[in-house]
């Protein structure tokens, strides 16, 4: 199994090294111009704690520093390439925990300078937004639902660098709501799969939870009040919680989340000028109930539904390398004085004149 | 005894020293309790605190899941002129903002494992730069600055919350001005 046996000359250009260090994840990957993933090395790839982008910290910039060199070396080795063979270095420049972003971006700058390759700074959210084109070649435009531990957004993806945010959470991300619900129910970690497992045997009708923003105009999300309602529901139950109670609360919660996501996504589809594919990304896309509800919506609307494989839904460097490929093809590169950004909404980039162009 | 306390924020204030026998605060440890019947009142408290905050301040937001910590922080940031999103910081651990009050860093230490992680997330640097709002502050252990305002939010039945404000250091005098003794 040598995925990298081909000589660099035989691989579609450009070849982009991608570096991701903005969240809890540290990763390096090499992706070719035709979407072939030549390598994809994720520090915690075997750690299922990450499935919902959840609550296990790998806070340390120190950890990124310690591991990044080795990860990059391994990504190049697995691709069978040297630094001289690649065409550009792409790194997440934000948003995210700034220590990690600085380490990844600075490393990318050093490689770019040392090897004489162009640097491409990538918005982490853009990596998610462009991933469906890496796996299925879906054409622009499409509607992206990004649901993870840190993000909950609906984006109209109109082209490389052209993203319109239609809706976002006004408080908690949906993955965070799963994690905190799991904690309130005393379920295991990671929270998302634990809630889904418990919900499988639960009665979703026993408890009534609020259905935040359903029916309201626009397509923003809100999950903070739902979290509080779960807490109040749990507080009224006898201790210790029975498996039955846990399952029923989990089922009620998951059903509400599914209903909210479908309602908001339906409204986002209505905001677009024409029918287009629906794409879901982020760790919460792993939830079978939510995925099924979205598939139903897409079927009812007669549109394609694309869900990248889980490994590419969660944080990874292949998506950063691929976003680098897309920008490189479009002739976009960045100067070496590019600044890391802890906050970087995706659509202000498109709105800012001359940004990323 | 619960009395309306003017102060322009419409919050009901009760001084524990008057209302709860045996809970009389130490002279250097003035605390007061506020009724927050709904989220609007939690937001009003956030705005009130923004009106009194200064660079270098640390406001520690204690309370369990769903107690209203992020809601209070969001109202604080809105009052400080932030118009962009104010998401929960749980995932990102810290969200930095440029505000009318200077830099404000909104921390959530829920996910850190030990106080030494504070070095990695720039906690002290943020205190040097401006105002720090911190959720799950107890995870900072001894690294929490001694000069701070502790706000403890408690969720009661039917969405009613209470806030207990405990001033340490410089906050003592400011809190007295913000919520004048109703007596």
According to the model, what pLDDT value does residue A111 have?
A: 97
Two tokens, residue B180? 């004048």
- Tell whether the model's pLDDT for residue B30 goes beyond 80: no
Contact status, residue A202 vs residue A249, Cβ threshold 8 Å: yes
Q: What is the ipTM of this complex?
A: 0.73
- A97: closest CA among B101, B145, B123? B123
DSSP-based three-state secondary structure for A19: strand
The mean per-residue pLDDT over the stretch A235-253 comes to 96
- Residue B26 vs residue A323, higher pLDDT: A323
The CA angle A35-A41-A43, to the nearest 5 degrees, is: 145
From the options 3.40.50.300, 3.20.20.70, 3.30.420.40, 3.40.50.2020, give the CATH code of A140-303: 3.30.420.40
Q: How far apart are CA B56 and CA B45, in angstroms?
A: 20
Beta-carbon separation of A171 and B71 below 8 A: yes
According to the model, what pLDDT value does residue B28 have?
A: 46
- Tell whether the model's pLDDT for residue A14 goes beyond 80: yes
- Burial environment of residue A46 by CB neighbours within 10 A (0 to 12, 13 to 18, 19 or more): exposed
Q: How far apart are CA A307 and CA A302, in angstroms?
A: 16
The mean per-residue pLDDT over the stretch A279-307 comes to 94
Q: How far apart are CA B21 and CA B39, in angstroms?
A: 29
Nearest by CB to A231, from B66, B71, B97: name it: B66
According to the model, what pLDDT value does residue B23 have?
A: 33
According to the model, what pLDDT value does residue A344 have?
A: 87
Chain B closest-CA separation from residue A30 CA (Å): 26
According to the model, what pLDDT value does residue A120 have?
A: 98
Q: Which residues of A touch B121 (CB under 8 A)?
A: 59, 97, 99
pLDDT digits (tens, 9 = 90+) for B66-90: 899 999 999 999 999 999 889 888 8
Interface residue of B64, B78, B87, B136 to substitute, partner A, most A CBs within 10 Å: B87
According to the model, what pLDDT value does residue A299 have?
A: 98
Contact status, residue A320 vs residue A91, Cβ threshold 8 Å: yes
Among A5-14, A40-49, A160-169, B129-138, the minimum mean pLDDT is found in A40-49
Two tokens, residue A94? 């934000």
In this structure, the strands spanning A162-168 and B102-108 are unpaired
Q: How confident is the model at residue B149 (pLDDT cuts 50, 70, 90)?
A: very high
According to the model, what pLDDT value does residue B119 have?
A: 81
The mean per-residue pLDDT over the stretch B51-55 comes to 93
The CA angle A331-A337-A342, to the nearest 5 degrees, is: 95
Q: Which residues of A103-112 are buried (b: 16+ CB within 10 A; e: fewer)?
A: bbbebbbebb
According to the model, what pLDDT value does residue A203 have?
A: 97
Interface residue of B73, B88, B159 to substitute, partner A, most A CBs within 10 Å: B88
- Tell whether the model's pLDDT for residue A350 goes beyond 60: no
The residue of chain A nearest to residue B67, with distances taken between CA atoms, is A228
- A291: closest CA among A220, A214, A196, A149? A196
Residues of chain A above pLDDT 90, percent: 68
Nearest by CB to B117, from A59, A95, A232: name it: A59
- Tell whether the model's pLDDT for residue A333 goes beyond 80: yes
pLDDT digits (tens, 9 = 90+) for A187-224: 977 789 999 999 999 999 999 999 888 888 899 999 99
Two tokens, residue A349? 């980039």
Q: How far apart are CA B78 and CA B151, in angstroms?
A: 18
Report how far Cα A305 is from the mean position of its chain's Cα atoms: 17
- A21: closest CA among A120, A110, A97, A127? A97
Q: How far apart are CA A80 and CA A346, in angstroms?
A: 34
Nearest by CB to A60, from B66, B94, B120: name it: B120
For chain B, the structural domain boundaries read 31-168
Q: Which residues of A touch B84 (CB under 8 A)?
A: 343, 345
According to the model, what pLDDT value does residue B13 have?
A: 53
The mean per-residue pLDDT over the stretch A236-249 comes to 95
Q: Which residues of A312-334 are buried (b: 16+ CB within 10 A; e: fewer)?
A: bbbbbbbbbbbbbbbbbeeebbb
Contact status, residue B155 vs residue B63, Cβ threshold 8 Å: yes
Chain B closest-CA separation from residue A282 CA (Å): 13
Beta carbons within 10 angstroms of residue A337's beta carbon = 7
Interface residue of B39, B46, B64, B66 to substitute, partner A, most A CBs within 10 Å: B66
- Tell whether the model's pLDDT for residue B12 goes beyond 80: no
- B163: closest CA among B73, B28, B94? B73
Chain B closest-CA separation from residue A184 CA (Å): 8
Interface residue of A64, A149, A228 to substitute, partner B, most B CBs within 10 Å: A228
Beta-carbon separation of B94 and A176 below 8 A: no
The mean per-residue pLDDT over the stretch A52-62 comes to 45
Beta-carbon separation of B85 and A62 below 8 A: no
For chain A, the structural domain boundaries read 8-131+314-329, 140-303
The mean per-residue pLDDT over the stretch B6-18 comes to 44
The residue of chain A nearest to residue B84, with distances taken between CA atoms, is A345
- Residue A286 vs residue A354, higher pLDDT: A286
The residue of chain B nearest to residue A182, with distances taken between CA atoms, is B65
The mean per-residue pLDDT over the stretch A293-313 comes to 93
Interface residue of B90, B99, B108 to substitute, partner A, most A CBs within 10 Å: B90
Put simply, the chain A residues between 51 and 80 with a CB less than 8 A from any chain B CB are 53, 55-57, 59-62
- Burial environment of residue A292 by CB neighbours within 10 A (0 to 12, 13 to 18, 19 or more): exposed
The beta-strand segments (E) located in chain A are 16-20, 27-31, 37-42, 88-94, 119-123, 142-147, 152-159, 162-168, 278-281, 305-306
A132 backbone dihedrals φ, ψ, rounded to 5°: -60, -30
pLDDT digits (tens, 9 = 90+) for B61-71: 999 988 999 99
Q: Which residues of B touch A60 (CB under 8 A)?
A: 117, 120
Q: How confident is the model at residue B117 (pLDDT cuts 50, 70, 90)?
A: confident
Q: Which CATH architecture has domain A8-131+314-329?
A: 2-Layer Sandwich (3.30)
- Tell whether the model's pLDDT for residue A58 goes beyond 90: no
- Tell whether the model's pLDDT for residue B179 goes beyond 80: no
- Residue A45 vs residue A353, higher pLDDT: A45
Q: How far apart are CA A334 and CA A92, in angstroms?
A: 12
Two tokens, residue B7? 């102060």
Beta-carbon separation of A183 and B65 below 8 A: yes
- Tell whether the model's pLDDT for residue A85 goes beyond 60: yes
DSSP-based three-state secondary structure for B16: helix
Q: How confident is the model at residue B158 (pLDDT cuts 50, 70, 90)?
A: confident
**What's the CATH code, domain B31-168?**
3.40.50.300
Residues near A208 by Cβ (< 8 Å), separated by ≥ 6? Answer: A252
- Give B66's Cβ-side CA count (13 Å radius): 24
Size of interface A-B (CB pairs under 8 A): 90
- Tell whether the model's pLDDT for residue A353 goes beyond 80: no
According to the model, what pLDDT value does residue A9 have?
A: 63
Q: Which residues of B touch A149 (CB under 8 A)?
A: 91
DSSP-based three-state secondary structure for A181: helix
Report how far Cα B146 is from the mean position of its chain's Cα atoms: 14
pLDDT digits (tens, 9 = 90+) for B84-111: 889 888 888 889 999 999 999 999 998 8
Q: How far apart are CA A132 and CA A115, in angstroms?
A: 30
- Residue A31 vs residue B1, higher pLDDT: A31
Mean pLDDT of chain A: 87
- Tell whether the model's pLDDT for residue B155 goes beyond 90: no
Same topology for domains A8-131+314-329 and A140-303, yes or no? yes
Chain B closest-CA separation from residue A94 CA (Å): 11
Beta-carbon separation of B120 and A168 below 8 A: no
């Amino acid at each position: 199994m040598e995925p990298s046996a081909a000589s660099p000359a035989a691989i579609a250009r450009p070849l982009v090294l991608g570096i991701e260090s903005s969240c809890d994840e540290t990763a390096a990957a090499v992706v070719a111009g035709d979407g072939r993933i030549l390598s994809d090395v994720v520090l915690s790839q075997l750690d299922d704690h990450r499935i919902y982008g959840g609550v296990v910290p790998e806070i340390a910039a120190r950890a990124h520093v310690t591991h990044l060199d080795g990860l990059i070396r391994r990504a190049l080795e697995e691709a069978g390439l040297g630094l001289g063979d690649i065409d550009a270095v792409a790194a997440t420049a934000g948003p995210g925990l700034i220590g990690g972003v600085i380490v990844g971006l600075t490393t990318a700058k050093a490689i770019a300078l040392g090897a004489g390759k162009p640097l491409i700074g990538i918005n982490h959210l853009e990596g998610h937004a462009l991933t469906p084109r890496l796996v299925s070649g879906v054409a622009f435009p499409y509607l992206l639902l990004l649901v993870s531990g840190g993000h909950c957004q609906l984006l109209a993806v109109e082209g490389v660098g052209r993203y319109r945010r239609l809706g976002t959470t006004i408080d908690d991300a949906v993955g965070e709501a799963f994690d905190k619900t799991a904690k309130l129910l005393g379920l295991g970690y990671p929270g998302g799969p634990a809630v889904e497992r418990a919900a499988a045997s639960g009665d979703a009708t026993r408890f009534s939870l609020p259905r935040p923003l359903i029916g309201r105009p626009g397509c923003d999300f809100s999950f903070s009040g739902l979290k509080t309602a779960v807490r109040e529901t749990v507080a009224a139950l006898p201790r210790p919680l029975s498996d039955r109670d846990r399952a029923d609360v989990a089922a009620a919660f998951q059903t509400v989340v599914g209903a909210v996501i479908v309602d908001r996504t339906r409204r986002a589809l209505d905001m677009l000028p024409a029918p287009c594919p629906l794409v879901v990304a982020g760790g919460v896309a792993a939830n079978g109930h939510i995925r099924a509800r979205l598939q139903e919506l897409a079927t009812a609307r007669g549109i394609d539904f694309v869900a990248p494989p889980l490994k590419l839904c969660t944080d990874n460097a292949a998506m950063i390398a691929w976003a680098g490929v897309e920008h490189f093809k479009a002739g976009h590169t960045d100067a070496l004085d590019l600044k890391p950004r802890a906050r970087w909404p995706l659509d202000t980039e498109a709105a800012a004149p001359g940004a990323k162009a | 005894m619960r009395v309306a306390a003017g102060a322009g924020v419409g919050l009901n204030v009760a001084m524990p020293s008057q209302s709860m026998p045996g809970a009389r605060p130490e002279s250097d440890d003035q605390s007061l309790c506020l009724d927050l019947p709904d989220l609007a009142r939690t937001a009003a408290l956030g705005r009130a605190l923004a009106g009194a905050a200064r660079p270098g301040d640390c406001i520690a937001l204690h309370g369990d899941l769903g107690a209203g910590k992020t809601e209070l922080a969001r109202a604080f940031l809105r009052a400080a002129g932030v118009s962009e999103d104010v998401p929960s910081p749980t995932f990102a651990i810290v969200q930095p903002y440029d505000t009318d009050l200077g830099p404000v860093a909104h921390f959530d230490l829920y996910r850190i494992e030990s106080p030494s992680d504070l070095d990695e997330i720039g906690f002290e640097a943020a205190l040097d730069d401006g105002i720090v709002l911190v959720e799950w502050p107890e995870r900072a252990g001894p690294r929490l600055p001694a000069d701070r305002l502790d706000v403890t939010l408690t969720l009661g039945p039917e969405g009613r919350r209470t806030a207990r404000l405990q001033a340490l250091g410089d906050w003592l005098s400011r809190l007295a001005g913000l919520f004048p003794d109703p007596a």
